Structure formats: structure tokens, C-alpha cells
Amino acid sequence: MSFATGLLCRECGTAYPAEARYSCEYCFGPLEVSYDIEGAKGVVTRESIANGPNSIWRYGALLPDPGVEPVDLGAGWTPLRRASRLADVLGVKELWLKDDTRNPTGSFKDRVVSVALSSARRLGFSTAACASTGNLATSVAAHAAFIGWPSVAIIPSDLEKSKVAMTAIFGGTVLGVEGNYDDVNRLCVELVAEHPDWAFANVNLRPYYAEGSKTLAFEICEQLGWRTPDQVVVPVASGSQLTKVAKGFREFIELGLVDGDAPVLFGAQATGCSPIATAFAEGADVVTPQRPNTIARSLAIGNPADGPYVLDELRANGGDCGSVPDSEILECIGLLARTEGVFAETAGGVTIASLRQMINRGTIDPDKSIVAIISGHGLKTLDAVVDTATFSSTISPSLADAEEALRFHQLVSSAS
């Protein structure tokens, strides 16, 4: 059972039932799912959660009502790994990686789509759709295939080929738009008006979609032995993940399920699309849109819907926001792979490079615990690394050639 009670306007607090509505009738503010936290106290316990399935649905009581049964392709319950070798390189004491590469379609988007399509099915929809920078399209197409729904994924036409293929393979309709994500998003808002019977995961189902990100915070707490970490680094595109991770920690604390205070949250952006990092650095309350130009395509949203809320969360207790160039993103994909055996997509490079930047400028405390969210698998952005991650040498099939190459790479001594 779910303790969700309905929807609340984030701006004026007007309450609505849990229906297909995403903005307030009175002030056009965004809506958010609300819960009977008091009612959940003592019912939602560490034990009741631990007895649940090994997916995000172990936290079903704190997610929107999925109806008869959730659309569960197995999103979530991904590993939280201690990253001691990377911690040594970065000069910090306690570093953890939340390895969300390990989701059904290789990114954290499976969490939000599982929740969005469950709510969509409960509300009577039967077609899935989305505006996407790539990973959401893949996840919507996969989850729709899983329940036999048609899907319409709308993405920029110049996205990585790997992401287009990973989406098209599930058999839905994939529309490539000649424009950037902000053009795609504008188009989808118009399409929602024309096709109100389509469940656009991140438009008309957005309040439900967003709740899926809370499960990152829930899992981190549970996997740390029911304690909160001190600091969490979150990649930021629209800002939905960061704001809902913050909400997740708050709900667990309010329920008394976890020891410790709310962690300090840190954002991570690519300099080629860093409107939130810029607003944060300038002390601005509004986010000025930017035309994206970065290899971190999954984070390339120039006009982030949740921008002001991200700024509030970052400023709540001493956070910061990284802004890193593409060269450092690539370097840190390699650093993470070499030190920890985890292959991340470009967004993961953004997270690690931002982590390093904020340690170096002293906003992240090296003596306190840190969790970095690695939100997508490296196979999704293979194009970014294929030219540099390649053969050490190419040799003829002869022992002499092999030995010479091994000497060259200093695997055997060259003294002879």
C-alpha cells in the first residue's frame, strides 16, 4: 500500500487528488506528490522495507500508488560501493559510488519511468511518451515494450547513435527532432495539449515520474546501514533528480528510519551546459537559459525546469555546484574506470570531475563521508571514448612481437 495522499502545488500549496495533472490551476506552479508521513510512522519500518523486493518497489509505501501492480522491470537496488582507491587519488577519507549504471536499461531513468508508467496505467493511460536527452527515451521504450504499450520517444536527431539504437530496438516510435532538447521539450508541451491521452513521463506525468528519484536517497541510507551520508554529489540536467533526492532524505529522517542529519547536496554540470552552476556562483535566484554544447548529452538541458528548486537545495546547508569542461569529463571517465572498475557514461565523468573540483576548492569536506551518484553506463556514450580507449599496440601473431610489445609496455623487464 502507498501512503501517497495526492498532489500539492509547490508554490501556493493547493491540494489536488492523485490525477493526471502537472501544474496548478491557480498559479501554474509545479505539483508534487504528498504523503501521510504521520500515518506511515511505525507502519513503514526498516524491517518492512528490508522484506520488500530487490527493486525500487521495496519503498512502494513512499511512492505514488502503482494501482494493481507496479510496472517493474527491475529498476533500482543498485550497488553502493566503497571507492577506496579513487578516494586515495582524490585525497578524501570515505567515498562511496552509487552505481546506477546497473539498471535494466543502464541508467537511473529506469527508476523514474517505473514510477511514471505505474501511475499512468493506474490513471487509465495506454500510450507512453517522453521528451528526452536519450536515457529517458530508452527507458520509456523498454518499459512500454515490457507491458505491451505503444511508445513515442522524442529526442534530438543528433544524439549518440548508441542511444538512438538502444531506444529504437524496443520497437516503439522514435522521432528525431532537428533541434536541441529545449526545442524537443517545447514541442512536447504542445503535443500534450493535442494528445492528453498520452502519458508523457516527464511532462503530464512529471509529478509521479519525479518521485522515482527519491529511491536513490532511500537506498543510499539503507545500504549505509540506515544512516545518512554527510555529502552527496548529484548530476544535474532538469534538476528533478537532485530535488527529489533531497526530498527522499527528508522523508526518511521525518519517519525516524535513519540516523544522522540531511546531507549537504552538491550539483554537477558540464561547463557546456551549466546554467545552474552559473546561477549558483553568481548568487542569482533565477536561472538564465544557456544553449548547450557539451559531450554530456544526457545533462544537456539549457533551460532546467527545476532550476530554482535546485538552487534552494544547494543553498540550504552549504552545498555547491561543479562546472567541468569536456576534457575533464573524459579524463574522469578514465580515472573512475581505472581506479574502481566502473565504466560510466559522460554524466558519470561530470560527477567525478565536479567532485574533484569541489574538493579542490574546499566546499566538499575531505574528512566527511561522500556519496557520488554514477547515473549511466559507459556503453551509452561509447563514441566519447572509442578514439582514446583503444589497443595498447597492434602486433603480428608472433612470440617475438608479443614479447617486444610487453617490454615496451613495461610488463616484463627489458634487461637482456
Ligand X SMILES: *Cc1c(COP(=O)(O)O)cnc(C)c1O
Binding positions for ligand X, rule: CB under 6 A: 107-109, 135, 235-241, 298-299, 345, 347, 375-376
Residue nearer to Zn ion on the CB measure, 139 or 204: 204
In residues, how long is the chain? 416
9-17, 107-115, 332-340, 359-367 -> range binding Zn ion (CB under 5 A): 9-17
Provide the minimum distance between the beta carbon of 398 and ligand X in the complex, in angstroms, as a whole number: 44
298 binds, among ligand X, Zn ion, none (CB under 5 to 8 A by kind): ligand X
- Whichever of 229 and 307 has its CB closer to ligand X, that residue is 307
3-state secondary structure of 258: coil
3-state secondary structure 188-250: HHHHHHHCCCCEECCCCCHHHHHHCCHHHHHHHHHHCCCECCCEEEEECCCCHHHHHHHHHHH
6 lies in the binding site for Zn ion (CB under 5 A): no
What's the Cα-to-Cα distance from 134 to each of 101, 194, 200, 380, 408, rounded to whole Å? 15, 23, 15, 9, 41
Q: Among Zn ion, ligand X, none, what binds residue 11 when CB lies within 5 to 8 Å by partner kind?
A: Zn ion
In the complex with ligand X, the residue whose CB is nearer, 211 or 251, is: 211
In angstroms and rounded to an integer, the radius of gyration of the C-alpha atoms of the chain is 22
In sequence order, what are the beta bridge partners of 174? 153
Q: Which residue has the cell 536561472?
A: 287
Q: Out of Zn ion, ligand X, none, which partner does residue 240 contact, by CB within 5 to 8 A per kind?
A: ligand X
Binding partner of residue 109 among ligand X, Zn ion, none, CB cut-off 5 to 8 Å per kind: ligand X
Choose the contact partner of 316 out of ligand X, Zn ion, none; CB within 5 to 8 A by kind: none
Of the two residues 29 and 260, which places its CB atom closer to Zn ion in the complex?
29
For residue 255, CA distances in Å to 35, 215, 223, 259, 328 come to 11, 15, 17, 11, 40
Task: Give CA–CA dist 12/24, Å, rounded.
Answer: 8
Angle between helices 240-254 and 214-223 (to 10 degrees): 50
CA angle 76–308–5, rounded 5-degree value: 55
The residue to which cell 501556493 is assigned: 12
CA distance 348 to 341: 13
Binding flag, residue 184, Zn ion (CB under 5 A): no
Closer residue to ligand X (CB): 228 or 240: 240
Write the single-letter amino acid at 99.
D
Which of 28/408 has CB closer to Zn ion?
28
155 beta partners: 176
247 binds, among Zn ion, ligand X, none (CB under 5 to 8 A by kind): none
C-alpha cell of 282?
553568481
Selected from 4, 7, 8, 9, the binder of Zn ion by CB under 5 A is 9
12 binds Zn ion (CB under 5 A): yes
Q: How far is the CB of 201 from ligand X (least distance, A)?
A: 11
C-alpha cell at 165: 539504437
Q: How far is the CB of 165 from ligand X (least distance, A)?
A: 16
Interaction partner, residue 385 (ligand X, Zn ion, none; CB < 5-8 Å by kind)? none
Q: Per-residue x/- marks for Zn ion, 22-61, CB under 5 A?
A: --x-xx-x--------------------------------
Question: Is the CB of 26 or the CB of 408 nearer to Zn ion?
Answer: 26
Match 557546456 to its residue by C-alpha cell.
Answer: 272
Q: Are 264 and 257 in contact (CB under 8 A)?
A: no
If the CB atoms of residues 228 and 375 are measured against ligand X, the closer one turns out to be 375
Which grid cell sits at 355?
A: 567532485
Q: Which of 2, 5, 6, 11 binds Zn ion (CB under 5 A)?
A: 11
Partner touching 370 among ligand X, Zn ion, none, CB below 5 to 8 Å by kind = none
Determine if residue 177 is left, alpha or beta; phi over 0 gives left, psi from -120 to 50 gives alpha, anything else beta. beta
Report the alpha-carbon distance of residue 345 to residue 295 in Å, rounded: 10
Find which of ligand X, Zn ion, none residue 9 binds, CB within 5 to 8 Å per kind: Zn ion
DSSP 56: G
Give whichever of 9 and 295 is closer to Zn ion, judged by the CB atom.
9
SS3 360: helix
Which of 56/255 has CB closer to ligand X?
Answer: 56
Q: Nearest distance from residue 305's CB to Zn ion, in Å?
A: 15
Residue 230 contact among Zn ion, ligand X, none, beta carbon within 5 to 8 Å by kind? none
Residues that bind Zn ion (CB under 5 A): 9, 11-12, 14, 24, 26-27, 29
